[in-house]
Amino acid sequence: MNTTTKLVLADVDGTLVTRDKILTPRAIRAVKALRERGIGFAVTSGRPPRGMAMLVEPLALDLPIAGFNGGVLVKPDWTVIETRTLTHDQAETVLRLIRDHGADPWVYTSKEWFVGDADAPHVAREQWTVKFAPEVDDVTRHLDDVVKITGVSDDADLMQRLERDLQEALGETASAACSQPYYVDVTNRDANKGGVVETLARLLSIPADAIATMGDQPNDILMFRKSGMSIAMGQANETVRKAAQFVSTSCEEEGFALGIERYVLGSGDTSSS
């Protein structure tokens, strides 16, 4: 057993849940096993906080939930702990770059999700994932309480260029990173998953090197760097896998549960559910 880990912080999509957004019985058992060993469990995601509501009961979540990659931190009863937003000028810059690249912008405020077209690519999928519908409106009308802006396109190469160009334009003033091959998320500079590790360490009074992190996308690398243990999912790209201390199997092969069992609990349990 790894006796130094006090908390596991997991990404949600592609890590905790499968591609079809299923939380498996084995994943639930793995979280229960953590608690039985005195290890806490928390989640972070680019999703808005209420887009993780379906996880609270089956996982008995009792620690802060970090939505929008740390842009909004809430308690499991949805009481807001911290909010980090983009400035109006930053939001305008991000929208311009997203549109210049031919991608579709989504704007998230602390309470709502705005899209320009409900039939645009991935809107229906995102609605099914987070379990609430967007508001359809001119997104430029909602730039004064922006927690996250997402650029969306099925052109993976375009998304890589957009990520790079956003990072170059914003510098250290904001965070821009791909959360999926077809999403680039832009948030406050302190609203990133590395910041989530630091915030939870502060709020829970545990050292960052006593936190284990699990993820599958480039935006998870920031939390890998800040934590004492890092586990990449098997389907992650080579850059993400190399950034992690350990690599589990894919989210379709019980990679979350196996990573907990093998690397955090040290049980060596690789049985399927």
The one-letter amino acid code at 203 reads: L
- The pLDDT tens digits of the residues spanning 133-180 come to 999 999 999 998 999 999 999 999 999 999 999 999 999 999 999 888
- The pLDDT tens digits of the residues spanning 205-241 come to 999 999 999 999 999 999 999 999 999 999 999 999 9
- The pLDDT tens digits of the residues spanning 12-51 come to 999 999 999 999 999 999 999 999 999 999 999 989 998 9
CATH of the domain at 108: 3.30.1240.10
Residues 201 and 173 in one domain: no
Report yes or no on 257 lying in a domain.
yes
User: pTM (2 decimals)?
Assistant: 0.85
Report yes or no on 2 lying in a domain.
no
Which residue among 139, 165, 188 closes a domain?
Answer: 188
Report yes or no on 270 lying in a domain.
no
Q: Containing domain of residue 121, as a range?
A: 88-188
- Which residue has tokens 């609270």? 56
Report yes or no on 1 lying in a domain.
no
- Where does the pLDDT of residue 110 fall: very low under 50, low under 70, confident under 90, or very high at 90 and above? confident
CATH of the domain at 77: 3.40.50.1000
Which residue among 157, 188, 219 closes a domain?
Answer: 188
Report yes or no on 202 lying in a domain.
yes
Residues 79 and 208 in one domain: yes
Residues 117 and 27 in one domain: no
Structural domain count, the chain: 2
pLDDT given for residue 26 in this prediction: 98
Residue 197 has pLDDT above 70, yes or no: yes
